[in-house]
A and B are shown apart, each in its own frame.
Chain A
Amino acid sequence: MADTNGNKNGFAVHVRNVTKTFGTGEAQVVALKGVDFDARMGELLMIVGPSGCGKTTLLSVIAGTLVFEAGEIDVFDSPLHRLKNREVTEFRKRNVGFIFQQFNLIPTLSILENVSVPLLINGVGRVKAEKKAREVLERMGLAGRENDRPTLLSGGQQQRVAIARALVHDPRLVICDEPTSALDKDTGAKIMELLRDVARHPDRCVIVVTHDNRVFKYADRMTEMEDGRVHKVHENYSQYEQKGNH
């Protein structure tokens, strides 16, 4: 299922007519109104738009962390809309890496342990997991900090740990929710460079949700959302800029 390399129409993520509502009755809010969306392999795709337009909801349904009511989502040819809960969890475990706005590192664990978590969840033994985590941390420039607690690191360093954690099990889809909004400009730029490097892999796709316009330039493509729908797709940042968006 999820481990096949073939991609529908050459897309890593293929979303068709997806609808998601929250609440019931008068309090019902339609967050996604028949969204169509694609993401390619080897690209860093940004989903942008104003607050409340459905960016994070779209990201959640693509990642398989939120159940949607209607539509179809294929990620690496795995039809999420047809999978059972347990299969979706299994899919996420193997194929998705997460980078969160608030880093979501577990404060009582060391950096090495935090980075090992996805491997441990995948059933890798502790020694092997920590060896791999050490290698990834070294690539992130965090060698020597393995035994520190996350709280001892700066925001940028914590986000690098989060990236290491997202990549340690070699996922094909990396989901990033506002990865730079808690960081200053320079640190944010470094993080985005890192993510762009991560995306430069033919078998990988990085999707970033952000409203931080300082980092838009790192996008290979940009999907603009408005009121629960995909409003425009820009093939590059210049196109987005030319349309007077910046």
Chain B
Amino acid sequence: MYRLALKMLLGDRAKYIMLVGGLTFASLLMTQQCAVFFGLLSWTTSHMRNMRASIWVVDPKVEQINEIKAMRDTDVNRVRSVTGVAYAVPLYAGVIQARIADGSFKPVQLIGLDSATLVGRPPVVLSGRLEDLRLPHTVMVDELAIERLSLRGGRKIGIGDTFEINDREARIIGICKTDRHFFGYPYVFTTYDEAMQFAPKTRKMLSMVLAEPVKGWTAAQTARQIENETHLKAFTEDEFNKSTIKWFFKNTGIPASFGTTIILGFIVGIVVSGQTFYSFVLENLRNLGALKAMGASNWLLARMLMLQALTVGFIGYGIGVGLTVLFGFAVLKTGQPPFLLPYQLPLFTLVVIIFICMFAALLGIRKIYKLEAAVVFRG
């Protein structure tokens, strides 16, 4: 009977296409929008992937990594003196204007690394040597900086080329790969000492202290110890991630706007598939009544409807997620819009699509349970 149920479904080509189309659209909208949303959220914490550290020590009022309040240089030593800290290094992070060859200005994310250890270094160096950052007036830039700091229509800048930061010459000694930042600024890495020269002078210049726990201590234990002894705020990587994302949820309209689109996808899925499947059942009511008269139980007919609904659901889901993956491949090449597809997301969409299908099937099943087999005798 299940085979016949599928033939009945596939035989009604228009309804079948409508059902698959509706569920594809719902699945695509939910998965793709969620992936863009997650991608965007991942951009908000890209600093942490571009300057990796176990413990991030910041001003006590800092809530998220993109809003840093400068501290005193002596705070590095205070952190170093805390029990459980293996080492602690200063880090400068600030947005500064860079001037390119044609005189125009471009904002860049300047990162100053501890000169001795280069802790906070970019994860992937594509060309050049990171150690060359110890040479005077040198910087390592990411691929986005190559795009942004090159003259429009001219050749791409590369190793050996220069540009200006705060009226000082910066010479490129390497190119690295970074995760794109939420604000879209290219990363420019240099040493902390050099960053002090590039950045405009203010009373306090230290952005963060990056620290590691000693063996036998967890990052969380050490972070709490730092907080107790210095009264600065110390985050583990995971804590800073969560705190940053929480801040964006609380203080921006991004989750609401994406949430609206995702809910819209869900509603479209429910309405289109529910309505189409219900009308499919209504149009087949005489046939279903005939099956019922011939002795098909309500439960058998319900299982047939569930099979039909799940079949269109899985096909629609497959196409929708497939299109999302294609979209992902396309945007990952260009770098935008943001896109992150964790394995939990397709699973979530699958559960939602199954829910939609079951809801649609339920509408039909309700009709079948109420259907009197005698309907087939009415003219």
**CB pairs A–B below 8 angstroms (28 shown):** A60-B374, A63-B293, A63-B374, A65-B293, A65-B372, A65-B374, A65-B377, A66-B374, A92-B295, A93-B294, A93-B296, A98-B293, A104-B286, A104-B376, A106-B8, A107-B11, A108-B7, A108-B11, A109-B4, A109-B8, A113-B7, A118-B294, A120-B1, A120-B4, A121-B300, A122-B295, A126-B3, A177-B377
Chain B 118-151 interface mask (CB, 8 Å, partner A; 1/0): 0000000000000000000000000000000000
Q: Which residues of A contact B (CB under 8 A)?
A: 56, 59-60, 63, 65-67, 86, 89-90, 92-94, 96, 98, 100-102, 104, 106-109, 113, 117-118, 120-122, 126, 177-178
The answer for the CA separation of A101 and B379 in the assembled complex, in Å, is 8
Contact B4 A117 (CB under 8 A): yes
Interface residues of B toward A: which range?
20 to 34
Complex Cα distance, B292 from A117, in Å, reads 11
Residue contact B291 to A100, C-beta cutoff 8 Å: no
A-side contacts of B296, CB under 8 Å: 89, 93, 121
B167 close to chain A: CB less than 8 A: no
B10 nearest CB neighbor, chain A only: A108
Chain B residues closer than 8 Å to A93, beta-carbon distance: 294-296
Name the residue on B nearest A113 (C-beta). B4
CA–CA, A171 and B11, complex, Å: 29
Q: How far is the CA of A60 from the CA of B373 in the complex (A)?
A: 9
In the bound complex, what is the Cα–Cα distance between A65 and B295 (angstroms)?
Answer: 9
- B7 with A121: CB separation less than 8 A: no
Interface SS, B side: helix
Residue B102 at the A interface, CB < 8 A?
no
CA distance in complex: A101, B286 (Å):
12
Are B295 and A118 interface neighbours, CB within 8 A? yes
Q: Beyond the given A65-B292, A101-B377, A108-B10, could you list 12 further A-B residue pairs with CB under 8 A, ordered by the A residue number?
A: A92-B293, A93-B296, A94-B295, A98-B293, A106-B8, A108-B11, A109-B4, A117-B4, A118-B294, A118-B295, A121-B294, A177-B376
A59 close to B287 (CB less than 8 A)? no
| Interfacial residues of chain B within 330-379, with CB under 8 A of chain A in the complex | 372-374, 376-379
**Cβ–Cβ < 8 Å partners of A120 in chain B:** 1, 4
In residues 2-17 of chain B, which contact A (Cβ within 8 Å)?
3-4, 7-8, 10-12
Task: List CB contacts (< 8 Å) of B295-333 with chain A.
Answer: 295-297, 300
Query: What 0/1 readout, one digit per residue, does chain B (95-116) give for beta carbons within 8 Å of chain A?
Result: 0000000000000000000000
CA distance A86 to B1 in the complex (A): 19
The answer to whether B7 touches A109 (Cβ under 8 A) is yes
Known pairs A65-B377, A86-B297, A89-B297; A104 contacts B4 (CB<8 A):
no
Bound form: Cα–Cα A202–B294 in Å: 22
